[in-house]
Structure 1
Amino acid sequence: MTVQLSLDDSDLAPVTEAGSGTMVFAPDLAYKRLSIVNVIFYGDPARGSDWVLIDAGLPTSKSGIIEAAESRFGRASRPSAIIMTHGHFDHAGSLEALAQHWDVPVYAHPVEFPYLNGQASYPPADPMVGGGAMALLSPLFPRSPFDVGNRLKALPADQGVPGMPGWKWLHTPGHAPGHISLWRESDRTLIAGDAIVTTGQESVYEVLTQKPEMHGPPRYLTPDWDEAERSVALLASLEPEVVITGHGRPVKGETMRARLKELSANFLSVAVPEGRRYAIDPAKPGKSNNDAYR
């Protein structure tokens, strides 16, 4: 059986182009695509300058993120916090520089701390999964840890999100051991990080065209497919109205929900790379000793 997880333009969330390449998809949510990855800005400029940055892009993204933030929130503004979905190079590349520039705390799941405090590198990428140039190039991607020092703080054990009232964080591991997604029940908005993505991420063509499709996490950097499957099932059970992911455009509505449920129901056949090292022998990074997060 072939499972089609395609979406079309009618399934894209409406966006308004703002300054510095920022796309607004809700009064208090905007994103900027930085080459292969999205960073997200939470905060409504009409209600004041308080805002939060979600993820920190590539190592070359610092100036682009600062420019977009100043365009949206004002030149004198700075975030109250940086929230990290996980610490891969395309999400944390400019984290050290931005945290120092703004002198703000960085929040992450404790299990992700070794990759954000200089202690551990991620497992090596698997270039033979999924096909395409992005996968083949993946061994060249940086995997060394970042180190934000004493600015790194644990997300609250009650699942609240600092600086984002009404939101909760969800532990969605698999793509990374401390990966999180962010969920707002009031309007059913999901910030999924890389637990799912809404465009193919294994080929350069798909990265460039951003064709809307429902995908599992990028294959070449996903070490634990059992955890990834459980995380997708959790996200599908939420039945979100709007989803933005680390790669791809924001999507919405009934068809999106149906595709997400189909991804969950058929995860082994459509998301997991058959016969590859990561699929049959997942890397198991160290577990946190903090039972409050279990």
Structure 2
Amino acid sequence: MLIQDNHFEESFLPVTSIASGTGVAVLPDVYCYTDQIVNLCLIGSPEETKEFVLIDAGMPKSAEEIKKLVTERFGEGIRPSGILLTHGHFDHVGSLADLLEEWTVPVYAHELEIPYLTGKQDYPAGDPTVDGGLVSEMSPLFPNHGIDLSTQIQPLPANGTVPVLADWKWIHTPGHTPGHVSFFRECDRMLIAGDAFVTVRQESLYNVITQHKEISGPPKYFTTDWNAAHASVKKLEALKPAMAITGHGQPMSGEEG
């Protein structure tokens, strides 16, 4: 049975990290911000323009925190040109419905992710058996239901272009979810990978809290197709990214990767 709770009011979210509430300008126009245990990105240079794009929308009940971040970086009353989603899990769209109550902007996701973002389908519940970590064991309590953004969600163009970011392309990186995508800019080889892979072992509560940096596969408890996930990582590896921001963990660059 589908539960239409766009605002995740009853979410069970007991996990945070030492990086929560902090951000870093990975590049002058790429800002990574950590909301509890998940990253979101603001793409746009505040020194050159007040226009920006938001990639992913953080944890539930973080809308005011995100709007404050936008105000601090771009100024009062500024809203994004659009919102891009790597996928629709609760920790990547948690505050999206609240933000859209004030921001009338287009939201883009892969066409295979649209059923989860129009209230037609739910994700599988978290699997506590995939790993011995405490986050995995808690994962069945995490929200897994779809949300209904029918009035503002649009599919990304089939040709790989990104409507609100002319110099970026999207790459289908399924496995963690059917319509998971990553975003890549060829000119500087900047990669925003979402949860195709992450830079912290997300199943471990200790590693999540301390943000111990290591390259890891997608969060196991929500990943449903490991063959596709492996192929997606290989696809991203072939791009030879110079810098990577993942959905969880700290950004990595150069020899770190």
What secondary structure is seen at the aligned counterpart in 2 of 1:195?
A: coil
Q: CA deviation at 1:213?
A: 0.4
Question: Corresponding residue for 2:8?
Answer: none
1:230 maps to 2:217: no
Q: Please say if residues 132 and 202 of structure 1, whose CA atoms lie closer than 8 Å, have aligned partners that are also in contact.
A: yes
1:255 positional shift: 4.2
Shift of 1:63: 1.0
Structure 2 residue matching 1:40: 3-state secondary structure: strand
1:213-257 per-residue CA deviation (whole Å, 9 max, x = no partner) reads 01010000000101101100101111110000000110011341x
CA separation in 2, counterparts of 1:21 and 1:116? Answer: 28
User: Residue 157 of structure 1 aligns with which residue?
Assistant: 158
Residue equivalent to 2:185: 184
Q: Which residue of 2 aligns with 1:196?
A: 197
Q: Which has the higher helix share?
A: 1
Residue 162 of structure 1 deviates from its aligned partner by 2.1
Paired residue type of 1:139:
P
Residue aligning to 2:25: 24
Give 1:13's aligned residue: none
Quote the residue 1:170 is aligned against: 171
Q: For this pair of structures, how many residues does the alignment match?
A: 237
Aligned residue identity for 1:219: K
Report the TM-score when normalising by structure 2.
0.90
> 1:57 and 2:58 equivalent?
yes
CA distance in 2, matches of 1:35, 1:188: 27
Pairs within 5 Å for 1:201-212: 201-212=202-213
Q: Distance in 2 between matches of 1:49 and 1:232?
A: 34
- One-letter code of the match for 2:62? S
Partner-residue secondary structure (3-state), 2:54: strand
Residues in 1 aligned to 2:218 and 2:142: alpha-carbon distance in whole angstroms: 16
Partner in structure 2 of residue 243 of structure 1: 244
Between the aligned partners of 1:124 and 1:255, the Cα distance in structure 2 is 33
Superposed CA RMSD in Å reads 1.0
User: Residues of 2 paired with 1:129 and 1:21: CA distance?
Assistant: 30
SS of the aligned residue for 1:107 comes to strand
Corresponding letter in the other structure for 2:210? T
Q: Distance in 1 between matches of 2:74 and 2:150?
A: 27
Question: Helix, strand or coil: the match of 1:235?
Answer: helix
Instruction: Report the TM-score, using the length of structure 1 for normalisation.
Output: 0.79
When structure 1 is superposed on structure 2, of 121-130 and 191-200 the one drifting more is 121-130
Runs of 4+ in structure 1 deviating by more than 2 angstroms, as ranges, are none
Helix, strand or coil at the partner of 1:90: helix
Deviation at 1:43, TM superposition (A): 0.5
Give 1:245's aligned amino acid: T
Q: Which residue identity does 1:230 align to in structure 2?
A: A
Give the deviation of 1:105 after TM superposition.
0.8
Alpha-carbon distance between aligned partners in 1 of 2:114 and 2:237, rounded to the nearest angstrom: 27
Aligned partners of 1:197 and 1:217 also within 8 Å: yes
One-letter identity of the residue aligned with 1:151? Q
User: Over residues 174-194 of structure 1, what are the superposed CA-to-partner deviations in whole Å (9 max), with x where a residue is unaligned?
Assistant: 000000000001001100000
Aligned residue in 2 for 1:286: none
Alpha-carbon distance, 1:22 to partner: 2.8
Amino acid of the structure 2 residue aligned with 1:203: S
Q: Flag structure 1 segments of 5+ consecutive residues without an equivalent.
A: 1-19, 257-294
Query: How far does the alpha carbon of each residue in 1:262-290 deviate from its partner, in whole angstroms, 9 at most, with x for none?
Result: xxxxxxxxxxxxxxxxxxxxxxxxxxxxx
Matched-pair contact (CA < 8 Å) for 1:21–1:68: no
**Aligned equivalent of 2:83:** 82
Whole-angstrom distance in 1 between the partners of 2:133 and 2:81: 39
Q: 2:253 is aligned with what amino acid?
A: K
Q: For structure 2, which runs of at least 5 residues remain unmatched after alignment?
A: 1-20
Looking at structure 2, the residues matched to 145 and 212 of structure 1 have their Cα atoms a distance apart, in angstroms, of 31
Listed as ranges, the matches of 1:1-294 within 5 Å are 21-256=22-257
